[in-house]
Amino acid sequence: MNKIVFFNHYHRGDLHTSKEFVKEVMNKLPDVEFEYWHGNPEVILQEIGIGPSVQKTPALLDKSKALMKTSDTLYINTWVGCQWDIFCKHGGINMHTLYEQWQNLYKGINKFFDTDLELNKSKEHYLPRIDFDKINKKAKANIDEKLKSEYSKKVLICNNRPASSQSFSYDIDSELINIAKKNPDVWFILTNEMLEKEKNISYTSDIIGTKQEPDLQETSYLSTLVDVIIGKNSGPYVFCETYDNYMNKDKTFVSFNTKHKDYDDIKETMSNGLKIKCNYNTVPILDIVDKNKDDINNIVTAIEKTL
């Protein structure tokens, strides 16, 4: 039997954003054997029934190559940065980059298997989806129960440190506490704990109520039950950028993004240029290492506008 080995040298968000393309290939080639070589927890891809292959590591493969092959195996690199010309053309991590890259990957798949697979014409079709029936059942029940509240608005804030340089790395704990004090009727739910907090600040770990690590899919489920999703375009925030949330007209996003000097606008967001129904706001961050007055003012103003 011929085989496809998907591989990715990078992080959890990289697996999440490319997942719908992988699922489509698996569905369209039912007679092919599949493996996925990556260094992330198996739970990240549990719903599609393919985890990291035992004792197989992507380190054995060239991360700069989009496709490699042997006589019976096609290796497909799912990392968004591996086709660098396309990555730069579209301004980094967004659906335009992924879509054009997978157009090329489909050509390689068709040549290898003598097929005629084509991408769906809608880029929105490939926004990530999560089957919440397959996440931790105890966590899901805890979220359903604890998200019942009398607060006027529920706000999820993904205040984790970004894995790469997508956004600022410093904390805004004092700013969040001040905002919470000014808005006692709003429930703020944070992904990372702070040294102190107000009574209307909670943590996702307390709501989810399990020791599972990571709990990214559970956080994604929690995000479907809040009004506003705020974050640094990394980790938990990326797992909240799903098709269902994007197509919810009552949902608001606030994304803090590194402002690249090469572009007039922010391009590195999955929402960029897509036909979505939610209210999506990007906030440029000029200094991602050190706090400065302008960036902090923009961050605080953007949060307060959603309340």
CATH number of the domain located at residue range(s) 132-305 in this protein = 3.40.50
Q: What is the pTM of this model?
A: 0.92
The span from the first CA to the last CA of the chain, in angstroms, equals 56
* Structural Rg of the chain based on CA atoms: 20
Residue 113 Cα distances to 67, 72, 98, angstroms: 14, 10, 22
What pLDDT does residue 80 have? Answer: 93
Is pLDDT at 2 greater than 80 in this prediction? yes
pLDDT digits (tens, 9 = 90+) for 274-293: 999 999 999 988 887 888 89
- Domain edges within the chain: 3-126, 132-305
pLDDT digits (tens, 9 = 90+) for 124-157: 999 999 999 999 999 999 999 999 888 999 999 9
Buried/exposed code over 265-288 (b: 16+ C-beta within 10 A; e: otherwise):
ebbbbbbbebebebebebbebeeb
